[in-house]
Structure 1
Amino acid sequence: MKFREFMVNSHSTREFVDIGVVEQDMKEIKTYLDEVNSTVGKEKGFSLILIENGAVVYQNLEGSGGYGGVMIKGPHYIGLRLDKADHEIEIFGAFYMQSVVKKIYDLGLGSCWITLSEISQAQEEKLLGGQKGIVEHLLVFGKPVKKESSTDKHTTVISCDTKYEQNPYGITMITTNDESRLSVVDTVFLQNWGNVAPFSEMEKRGVLDLLYYVRNSPSFQNIQPCRLILKDGYAELAVVNPEREENYTDAGIMLFTLEGLAKELSFPSNWHFIQDDSGSTEYRRVAHFDL
């Protein structure tokens, strides 16, 4: 599936049918999680924990898991376990958790990010199942409840006028037009922070289409905390309000979106984490991305 189709058509699922995922699909998901854990997770300090018995997770977290304690019930969950609270680990973990979202979507299933900021240590320990580390997010997944609608996301036609409703955390936030999102010129700077990149410059560099789509990367409460600073041959990804931990998770999701779109549009797609020691309280650079 084309990545732009995934970007436009993917949306959070908050209602699932009361049956488990079929064996073949579950096998593919397990294989993918094992591959991520062994090839990347071990090195970067995170792992993706599959919990097949969703009822146990729901009973453990009902009333405290999820946004405002509203837990989403589903047949299966995947926990994002981090060795420790660290921005680089958070970004890589979120990047690969979002890759699982696409894997699940490609199988015709639904999923939704769940934040766990309000759970107790005892609840967290149950999720970890004896492993060390912390769990700040879950992904619930399964077969979505089919809702008949003339505006079904899976029949969306991609165009520059496409309207979006994207939120990975299951918070209902319906918009009727694209005005709820920051424009490209609000999210992209040229050379230096705060120096707005003109449309003409983005067109000259051939990156306008890429940046149009990438600004629709999902984010917690749809606040769009990520910014891009265009340099010569590369861009730097930065987050505003760097003291807000959730923004680093959103940065990982943004990097997955940016990489997927860049590959599809034949741009270089290599990136690496940046340790920004500038001390700025306004923003923090977190990644270098070749363009």
Structure 2
Amino acid sequence: MKFREFTVNSHSTREFVDSGVEERDMNEIKTYLDEVNNTAGKEKGFSLILMENGADVYQNLEGYGGYGGVMLKGPHYIGLRLDKVDHEIEVLGAFYLQSVVRKIYDLGLGSCWISLKEITPDQAEKILGGQVGTIQHLLVFGKPTKKENKPEKHTTIINCDSKYEQDPYGIAVITTNDETRLSVVDTIFLQTWGNVAPYEEMEKRGVLDLLYYVRNSPSFQNGQPCRLILKDGYAELCIINPEQEENYTDAGIMLFTLEGLAKELSFPSNWHFINDDSGNVEYRRVAHFDL
């Protein structure tokens, strides 16, 4: 399936059937998680923990997990365990957990990000199952519930006429047009921070379509904290309000979206994390991305 189709049609699922995922699909998911954990995860300091006993997880986190303590109930969960709270690990972990969202989508299943910012240490320890580290996010997944005679709630991205906006954490932001999304010129700078990149320059470089698509990358509460600075042959991904940890998670999701679109549109798509120790309180560079 084309990546652009995934970005357009993918949406957060908040209601699941109780029967869970079929064994064949679950085995595919397990195989993919093992691949991630044994390669990138082992090297970079994170792991993806499969929790098939969804009822136990929900009971443990009800009233604490999710947004404002609203926990999503599902048959299965995947936890993003980090060795430590570290911006690079947060970015990479989010990148690969979003890749799991794509894998689950390709299997015809639904999923939704869940924030664990409000859980207690005892709850976190129970989720980690004795593993060392910290956990800030879960992914709930399973077969979506489809109700008869009611339009299926979903969020779409890219489509300017969409009624809904994408939010991977399960918070639907309803709109009647694209006005809630920042425009391309609001999110893309040329050479230096704050220097707005003209449409003509983006067209000249052949990146306008890519940048239009990627600006719709899902983010917590539709906050859109990511910005791109176009340089010569590459771009720098930055976040505003660098003191907010969720923005580094959103940067990882943005990088997955950017890489997938770049590959499909025949751009180089190589990237690496930037350890920006400038102390800038307005924005922070997060990644170098070849274009």
Q: Give TM-score, length-normalised by structure 1.
A: 0.96
Matched, 1:30 2:30: yes
Does the Cα contact within 8 Å between 1:112 and 1:169 map onto a contact in 2? yes
- 2:147 and 2:240 map into 1 onto residues whose CA distance is 37
Question: Counterpart of 2:167 in structure 1: which amino acid?
Answer: N
Does the Cα contact within 8 Å between 1:11 and 1:165 map onto a contact in 2? no
Q: Which residue in 1 is equivalent to 2:53?
A: 53
Q: Which residue in 2 is equivalent to 1:67?
A: 67
SS in 1 for 2:269: coil
Deviations 1:166-207 (A, max 9, x none): 100011222221111000000000000000000000000000
Alignment of 1:133-148 (within 5 A): 133-147=133-147
- 1:72 and 1:165 map into 2 onto residues whose CA distance is 19
- In structure 2, the CA distance between the partners of 1:162 and 1:38, relative to structure 1 (3 Å rule), is farther
Moved more, 249-258 or 1-10: 1-10
- How far 1:259 sits from its partner (Å)? 0.1
Does the Cα contact within 8 Å between 1:272 and 1:287 map onto a contact in 2? yes
Q: Which residue in 2 is equivalent to 1:130?
A: 130
Alignment of 1:57-136 (within 5 A): 57-136=57-136
Does the Cα contact within 8 Å between 2:51 and 2:76 map onto a contact in 1? yes
**Moved runs in structure 1, 4+ residues, more than 6 A?**
none
- 1:80 and 1:213 map into 2 onto residues whose CA distance is 26
Q: Which residue in 2 is equivalent to 1:6?
A: 6
Deviations 1:62-95 (A, max 9, x none): 0001000000000000000000000000000000
- How far 1:148 sits from its partner (Å)? 5.1
Q: Which residue in 1 is equivalent to 2:279?
A: 279
- In structure 2, the CA distance between the partners of 1:148 and 1:227, relative to structure 1 (3 Å rule), is farther
- How far 1:149 sits from its partner (Å)? 7.2
- 1:211 and 1:237 map into 2 onto residues whose CA distance is 12
- 1:9 and 1:117 map into 2 onto residues whose CA distance is 28
- How far 1:147 sits from its partner (Å)? 3.8
Stretches of structure 1 that go unaligned for 5 or more consecutive residues are: none
- In structure 2, the CA distance between the partners of 1:93 and 1:175, relative to structure 1 (3 Å rule), is same
Q: Give TM-score, length-normalised by structure 2.
A: 0.96
Deviations 1:219-278 (A, max 9, x none): 000000000000000000000000000000000000000000000101111000001122
Moved more, 2-11 or 27-36: 2-11
- 1:211 and 1:159 map into 2 onto residues whose CA distance is 11
SS in 1 for 2:174: coil
Question: Counterpart of 1:126 in structure 2: which amino acid?
Answer: K
Identical amino acids, percent of aligned pairs: 82
Q: Which residue in 2 is equivalent to 1:237?
A: 237
Question: Counterpart of 1:112 in structure 2: which amino acid?
Answer: C
- 1:152 and 1:79 map into 2 onto residues whose CA distance is 27
